[in-house]
Structure 1
Amino acid sequence: MIKVEHLAKAVGEDKNPVLKDISFQLEEGELVALLGGSGSGKSTLLRCLALREKWDSGTFKVDGVNILGKIIGGKRKIRREWAYLEQNAELNPNRTALKNVLVGQSAQTPIWRMVTGMVRSDDYMGAMDELDALGLLDKAKLKTSQLSGGERQRVAIARALTHGAKVILADEPVTGLDPKSAEKVMDSLRNLCKETGLTIVTVLPLELAERYASRLWVLEDGKIKHDVKGRRLTSQERVNL
């Protein structure tokens, strides 16, 4: 369970208050779509949850652990078990899809593997299983520079899952993709939530959010103005989107 209370964050030299009072509770397996106009704080919220941005105030608990407190391992837990996916997947274009999945992020990868490039057979099979589940088994030996945008996003998802991600924070993972590729990415994410209990918070276009998300948050004036179960939003809820 993830519980956030009164998260506030100001940005820039003028300390513009982007997030003013964000509070929510999340359960395992939810797929949450973040919606809101430009400057509403969607990306800032994701970066705060991923600990890429320092919080000005607020409390952050995961399974009862105070992440922002002085308890040793709280922040390490987030860096190890949560994956932050930017709009353009951070992959090495000169490595194959499989190598990108195996290497993972620095916080999740043993130093010896980063130095030697060696992997265990169990790790290899686990990576191949994740690529297979995401429809990329035939792309495993191709360099990521040869893949489409949607395929690269799925490689990034496979990498996160291979390294034990329990939560994925994704900032516009389908922006710039053709409709078919976007649907493949969203089908993969939704299925993972249902089948594995993965929790996802992501910024999505309204149409895809209404189709795929189990929960929708509409951000406005630094707060979650609407928090509704997955469905079409009403005209009132769509104001300023």
Structure 2
Amino acid sequence: MITIEHLTKFIGIQKDPILHDVNFQFHKGEMIAIVGSSGSGKSTLLQCLSLNQKWDQGSFNVDGVDVLKLGFMGKQKIKKEWAYLEQSPEFNPKRTALKNVIIGQRGQTPWWRRLSGTVRSDDYMGAMDVIESLGLLEKAHFKMGQLSGGERQRIAISRALVHGAKVILADEPVVGLDPKSAESVLEQLRTLCKEERVTVLTVIPLDLAERYGSRIIGLSKGEIVFDVKGRRLTQREKSLI
């Protein structure tokens, strides 16, 4: 179980709260859709959970351990297991999808390996298995520039999984994608939750949240205004965000 208590994040000289006293719990295998208007704190929430931004207040308990009290190595382990996926994932355009998956992002592999592009045979087969599970085996040897936006997002998910991700924090992973590609990405994320017990927290539009989320959390002005499971939102709930 993961428990977030009293998460507060300030911004600016005036220390205005962009997140204020956020509290919730979640379990393995959940697909949590986060919704809210621009500036509600959605992206900041994911960045705090990935430890890409410092918490000003709060506790972050994973299986009874407060992550915020861990040392450098403990936090690095959490960063590896809690993969933050940006709207436009960064890749080396000169390398294939497979090599981008294996070599990983900055901080996931040694600098010399990132520079040389060295690939071990055991890494190769493991990455191919993951890429195949996400329906892109035929694109594994394509350069990244040859892939569509939806395919790039699925390669980003593959990369996170190959490097040990247990939780995926996806910040608007379908922005700019055509409807079919967006559905493909979200279907893959939902399948990972159901079959691999990966946990997903994702910022997506409300209509997609109702279709794909097993749970929907609404944010407004940095506070949770609703947290519903297994159903669509009521009109009153929609009016809160």
TM-score, normalised on structure 1? Answer: 0.95
Q: Deviations over 1:154-188 (max 9, x none)?
A: 00000001111000101000011000000100110
Deviation at 1:110, TM superposition (A): 3.8
1:89-238 to 2 correspondences below 5 Å? 89-238=89-238
What stretches of structure 1 of length at least 5 have no aligned partner?
A: none
| CA distance in structure 2 between the partners assigned to 1:183 and 1:70 by the alignment | 38
| CA distance in structure 1 between the partners assigned to 2:158 and 2:217 by the alignment | 26
Q: CA RMSD in A?
A: 1.4
Counterpart in 2 of 1:45? 45
Name the aligned partner's letter for residue 105 of structure 2: Q
4+ residue segments displaced more than 4 Å: none
**Higher fraction of helix:** 2
TM-score, normalised on structure 2? Answer: 0.95
Q: Which moved more, 1:82-91 or 1:101-110?
A: 101-110
Deviation at 1:228, TM superposition (A): 0.5
Q: Deviations over 1:101-132 (max 9, x none)?
A: 01112332245532432222121011111111
Is this contact kept in 2: 1:65–1:74, CA < 8 A? Answer: no
| CA distance in structure 2 between the partners assigned to 1:28 and 1:169 by the alignment | 13
Name the aligned partner's letter for residue 53 of structure 2: E
Name the aligned partner's letter for residue 64 of structure 2: G
Q: Which moved more, 1:88-97 or 1:208-217?
A: 88-97
Q: Which moved more, 1:109-118 or 1:130-139?
A: 109-118
Q: Which moved more, 1:175-184 or 1:67-76?
A: 67-76
Name the aligned partner's letter for residue 211 of structure 1: R
Counterpart in 1 of 2:24? 24
Give the share of equivalent positions with the same residue, in percent. 63
Is this contact kept in 1: 2:11–2:18, CA < 8 A? Answer: yes
| CA distance in structure 1 between the partners assigned to 2:70 and 2:180 by the alignment | 46
| CA distance in structure 2 between the partners assigned to 1:197 and 1:107 by the alignment | 25
What stretches of structure 2 of length at least 5 have no aligned partner?
A: none
Is this contact kept in 2: 1:8–1:56, CA < 8 A? Answer: yes
| CA distance in structure 1 between the partners assigned to 2:212 and 2:183 by the alignment | 9
Q: Which moved more, 1:15-24 or 1:188-197?
A: 15-24
Deviation at 1:238, TM superposition (A): 0.3
Counterpart in 1 of 2:60? 60
Q: Which moved more, 1:74-83 or 1:141-150?
A: 74-83
Counterpart in 2 of 1:4? 4
| CA distance in structure 1 between the partners assigned to 2:99 and 2:80 by the alignment | 19
